[in-house]
Amino acid sequence: MPHCDNIKIKQKFHLINILRSQPPLAHVGWDRIWDATDWKQVCPQLDYRGRPIGSENCLFLNVFTPGIKKGVTFPVLVFLHGGNFDSGSGNLFGPQALVDQNIVVVTLNYRLGMLGFAATEDDALPGNLGLRDQLLALRWVRDNIAVFGGQPDRVTLQGQGSGAVCVLLHVVSPRSRGLFHRAIVQSGTPLSEPSLHISAREAAQSAALSLGCPAVASTHDVRDCLSNAPLTDLLRMQQEGKILGDYPMRFTPRVDRESRDAMLPANPAALLASGNFAKVPIIIGYNKDETAVLYPELLALLRSELGDDQDYVRNILLPKFFRTALNIRDPLKDVLDDVYDHYFSGINYKDHDGIIQAFVNMSTSALFAVPIFETAVLLARSSPSTFIYSFSYRGDISMLDSKLGPSASRKVNLGPAHGDELLYLFQVVGSGLRPSTNLVDGMVSRRMIRMWSDFARAGVPVLLPDPEYLPWPSSSPSNVTIYQLGRSLKPHLVETQEAEAVSLWRSVLPRMADIGKQGSLNTEQVALSGQTLVDPVYRTLAYSMVTVALALLAAVAVLLAILYRQTRSSSFICGRATPEASSRSSPDNSYNIY
């Protein structure tokens, strides 16, 4: 039984008989013992060397459960992986530590890239097939998880990166209502500029032409072309034109109001602003230096393009960022000047490290911190249980290790990058990644696992506050508190620097959106940009230390109570799934580690 030394139970169930360009169909079931002890195929993608891997027969989910005892049930956490909608797999994340906290964990695959998100903006190919794969998995959890000791009425939907975007899309989707009861959103939001593409038809038509299809006169021709193209050609074509890491992104979720059973009947920002979404407790946050993961690409750009051009950042690097990451082809000069003055003023044009740090600050604000903050404020208008965090700890392990190697990665003087927090929640499989032996890393991991587990259990991230785990207050639009996850755990008010970043980008993005609506911001989102979310930010700056004092008082009040808290650790059981355990499964080939 492979992997049994590390993961003692892996239950896997094939969800569908897959048909390219079609919504998923529930598997008809089986009548034999199903061997659930090996990883199944990932969905088609290119690995880190650019080699095609995976199979279209990829829609499997993995169930990890504590030892099952009759009459004992556990909360459920369903994790949606990230990967910019064109890479990744549920197989990459080992959840042993979470399961040791008596949580049933489900990870899953969903279709990626063109196979999951190509669209013609009509009934020929409405798109969002990857979202529909996730929806089917959530329904499977509702119908079957009780057999694995899970509580179908206590399901937390968690995602990171593009998986976090998907979590919020399920929060606003009427199709997903009632299938989960809490949400954890890590480093992603549909309010971020690249997340929703308004030129999906153009992208699909361009793809069909690039694939050499002789006639794409109609959207049905486009669909047929994509449906019949060789898989390797699809994978290589969808990577064409990428300039800055994974940007630009062309195949992403979209508003599919023309569909008879739309996943997204309106723009997510409008649905959030109107309060038309699932009112579930939500944790939402970001890492301090998300785009530090682009360090190798940024350094290569500077070495190859900078030369003696003193205006390189203003005239080349910034327009390239707006064009590739924000889908804005011709940024206005006054906008570039505002952004340059805010982030790059005073930096010597020969200072590579200084330019990279400023670029990381800028791009993290534009793509993550500001849109995530604004998403949280919109959520908090209608949902009283909105918890905001900032992950600020950079330890001995980082996602940069997989790009640079551990030794070179440690020399990069930047904060935690995109995906780094996952290394403290899961055992992540990947090239160059290894477990940390650092004691502080272990402490940060233990704290995060406890808070995420408490949230899955009770809907609050700090169930029993104490001097180590200060209370984590929920936020409201006029009282925004960000919980810092670092060497210490502490709530803090929105700081001046954060408020200024919100103010800048709320000024910049509406001006950019007026340029022919070339980016992913559509008219509904532009209208929201006129609303003032900055004023509440500044109001929270006046929030006094009374909050902290009350937090400490509450900690003292419960100090004795925590003595009764019992931390139970359950071992996994290596075994097989039977027809009695579930009714849907199908075999497939082994998983490639990359």
pLDDT tens-digit profile, the chain (594 residues): 333 333 334 444 444 434 889 999 888 888 888 888 888 999 999 988 889 999 999 999 999 999 888 889 999 999 999 999 999 999 999 999 999 999 999 999 999 999 999 999 998 999 999 999 999 999 999 999 999 999 999 999 999 999 999 999 999 999 999 999 999 999 999 998 554 545 889 889 989 998 988 777 799 999 999 999 999 999 998 887 676 666 778 899 999 998 889 999 999 999 999 999 999 999 999 999 999 999 998 999 899 888 878 899 999 999 989 888 887 777 788 889 999 999 999 999 889 999 999 999 999 999 999 999 999 999 999 988 999 999 999 999 999 888 888 888 888 889 999 999 999 999 997 766 788 889 999 999 999 999 999 999 999 999 888 989 999 999 988 888 999 999 999 888 776 677 888 888 888 776 655 443 433 333 233 223 333 333 333 333 333 333 333 333 333 333 333 333 333 333 322 332 322 333 333 333 222 222
Q: Is 108 helix (H, G, I), strand (E, B) or coil?
A: strand
If 0-12 CB within 10 Å is exposed, 13-18 middle and 19+ buried, where does residue 354 land? middle
Q: Is 78 helix (H, G, I), strand (E, B) or coil?
A: strand
Pair of tokens at residue 23: 């919504």
CA atoms of 529 and 509, how far apart (whole Å): 8
The conformation of residue 314, written as its DSSP 8-state character, comes to I
User: What is the model's pLDDT at position 512?
Assistant: 59
CATH fold, domain 9-23+60-301+363-514, is Rossmann fold (3.40.50)
CB atoms within 10 A of CB 408: 13
User: What is the model's pLDDT at position 448?
Assistant: 97
User: What is the model's pLDDT at position 513?
Assistant: 53
- Can you give the pTM of this predicted structure? 0.84
Residues whose CB is less than 8 angstroms from the CB of residue 312 and which lie 6 or more positions away in sequence, other chains included: 305, 306, 349
* Residue whose C-alpha is closest to residue 9's, from 101, 94, 109, 89: 94
> Which residues is 64 bridged to in the sheet?
105
Virtual torsion, Cα 200, 203, 208, 211, nearest 10 deg: -140
User: What is the model's pLDDT at position 498?
Assistant: 78
Query: Residue 46's Cα: distance from chain center in Å?
Result: 19
Residues whose CB is less than 8 angstroms from the CB of residue 319 and which lie 6 or more positions away in sequence, other chains included: 331, 336
CA atoms of 415 and 395, how far apart (whole Å): 9
Residue type, 393: Y
CA atoms of 264 and 35, how far apart (whole Å): 37
Pair of tokens at residue 420: 């780094």
